[in-house]
Amino acid sequence: MADNVLQEIKRADDARPGFPGEHWLVLAAGIGAWWLTRNHRSAVVRTLGMVAGTALVGRAASGRDGLSRVLRYTPVGGRIKRIARA
């Protein structure tokens, strides 16, 4: 059932027209989410901010109009690349 919902969302997203600079706005939102939550007292808020930031930056990097090499600049992206090389 979850796969059907995700496929439906992807289909709707692919059907809508993009607008110039959309990936830059998503990238800014991702960096902003991480930046605003990175020094919060609560570990839950910091974790949610990092997850949301990484998801948005990933969307900007992999979307149909996205950037191709932004992931390495995210908080988690550098760690992912180091693990893949090891």
Band the pLDDT of 36: cuts 50, 70, 90: very high
Task: Report the pLDDT averaged over residues 63-72.
Answer: 55
pLDDT at 64: 62
56 burial (CB, 10 Å; 0-12 / 13-18 / 19+) is buried
Share of the chain above pLDDT 90, in %: 31
Band the pLDDT of 75: cuts 50, 70, 90: low
pLDDT at 51: 93
Comparing CA positions, the residue from 62, 59, 72 lying closest to residue 28 is 59
Domains of the chain, by residue range, sit at 21-85
Task: Give the Cα separation of 58 and 43 in Å (integer).
Answer: 22
Count of CB atoms situated within 10 Å of the CB of 57: 28
Q: C-alpha distances in angstroms, 32 versus 35, 37, 65, 84?
A: 5, 8, 20, 27
pLDDT digits (tens, 9 = 90+) for 3-21: 788 788 778 877 777 777 7
